[in-house]
Structure 1
């Protein structure tokens, strides 16, 4: 599976802003669920299909988070940037 990966430290008072050049799947996950995602297993995440950019997410608790961006198996590429506000 092809995906972009970013790591951020953020919490409920922060906004994780993902800027995209086209619509894509955006997931915010803890380390456990990121490993499951990488292994193709079921996993829990915050986010989903981002049809507009920027796409904002708010982590439920403070910690180290993994942000992934993918096209759901479709061909092509996507450019993205991630920042914590």
Structure 2
């Protein structure tokens, strides 16, 4: 599966990750390093987020640690670009 990822580095609990999409709707997944590695290897993983159809989404960081955000089309046709900001 093709995906784009953003290494958000260490974030504190309560910070907000804002994701802007340009193009198709997409799956947005905020994951810790353990789940990100499982995702990359096609294994079961947990995440915050989901299938997003709006151009901007905000996700609250649940706990302090290293976080990754992925964007993928879930096998659907199309293209999507993403921009990520952390507040």
TM-score by length of 1: 0.93
Q: Which structure has more strand as a fraction of its residues? A: 2
Which residue in 2 is equivalent to 1:57?
59
Aligned partner (choices 74, 79, 82) of residue 80 of structure 1: 82
Give aligned pairs, total.
85
Deviation at 1:18, TM superposition (A): 0.5
Q: Which stretches of structure 1, 4 residues or longer, exceed 4 Å deviation after superposition?
A: none
Q: What is the root-mean-square deviation in Å for CA atoms of aligned residues?
A: 1.0
Deviation at 1:75, TM superposition (A): 2.1
Partner Cα separation in structure 2 for residue 64 and residue 48 of structure 1? 19
CA contact (8 A) 1:28 1:45 kept: yes
Q: Which ranges in structure 1 are unaligned for 5 or more consecutive residues?
A: none
CA contact (8 A) 1:24 1:72 kept: yes
Partner Cα separation in structure 2 for residue 24 and residue 71 of structure 1? 5
Q: Which ranges in structure 2 are unaligned for 5 or more consecutive residues?
A: none
